[in-house]
Structure 1
Amino acid sequence: MNFNNLIGLMLFVPLFFISCTSSENTNPGTSVPLENTRWKLNTLNGKKIFTPESGKDIFIRFSSADKRANGFAGCNTFFGTYKSDKNKIAIGPLASTEMFCEAMMQTETEFFKALSTTIKFKIKGNYLQLYDSAKMLAKFEMITGTE
């Protein structure tokens, strides 16, 4: 192997390994903020959530201005307060409209229970995950262009 090939190889190998490194969580300072972001529900208690027949996604939004949460639970809109500190969060008490939608009532009940029992959260990329002390309760995806 001649000297020029050796130099080329020495330059290529480190660049190859750098380009193959995962960028997930490499710069936590650029993660999506919890607050002032619309979060669409994707998974609830381990089950995939699809857009309801109404065509409106289940979502939550945390407002930094007044420390209030609001959203849509599949049939009813809801609102309330929250407190967060680092990765800890307490959501509620919450209030909601009182419409009856037979197809969505089970999901709404589970959703409100998950929110009220959440004690911590994680943001990974464009995803928000809510946890109780033992497991992930809900997973949301950041939605853009809806504010």
Structure 2
Amino acid sequence: MKKSIFLLALVIVFSSCNNTQKIAEITPNEIPSGNYEIKSIQGEPVYKLSFDVDTSENKISGKTNCNSYSGTFSLTNNKIEIGPLSATEMYCEENVMKVEHSLFEAFSNAKTFVYDNNMFVLSSETGIVLRAFRIVKK
């Protein structure tokens, strides 16, 4: 009897040491919530731009180097529709405004998406309009 209790205690101790967390699997037609760092818009590299995705409310939001914006999105298979977006209306330097305009245009022209290995790619009917990487906090 003591041997059985001892073996049972060992099983409990060792099974509690194997505390594996289940990682949510993302299917190819889903985008996980989180913060995404934009790498390029219309093929042009950009720096220090990001946006947030909240899939529980189908919302997208962010801040350019000038204005804040937010809006909704809908997903059907690998198709995406973003917008309309609302944004603050501050005026900034011309080059900053160009990047902002390109970003809003990329979001509004996006028709399909691919999410794979933390990379998020939006495409329009004419090609890739935005590349971003999901920032994974450890």
User: What is the TM-score normalised by the length of structure 2?
Assistant: 0.73
* Residue matched to 1:92: 83
Aligned residue number for residue 116 of structure 1 = 108
The 1:134/1:68 distance shift into structure 2, 3 A limit, reads: same
Cα distance in 2 between the residues matched to 1:93 and 1:65: 18
CA contact (8 A) 1:78 1:94 kept: yes
Structure number with the higher strand fraction is: 2
Aligned-pair distance for 1:122?
Answer: 0.4
Give the superposed CA RMSD: 2.0
The list of structure 1 runs, each at least 4 consecutive aligned residues, that deviate by more than 2 angstroms after superposition, is 29-33
Q: How many residue pairs get matched?
A: 112
Q: Which runs of 5+ in 2 are unaligned?
A: 1-24
Q: Which amino acid aligns with 1:50?
A: Y
SS at 1:104's partner residue? helix
Query: Partner of 2:65: helix, strand, or coil?
Result: coil
Matches within 5 A, 1:1-147: 29=25, 34-51=31-48, 58-102=49-93, 103-145=95-137
Identity of aligned residues (%): 24
* Letter aligned with residue 32 of structure 2: E
Distance 1:65 1:30 in 2: 14
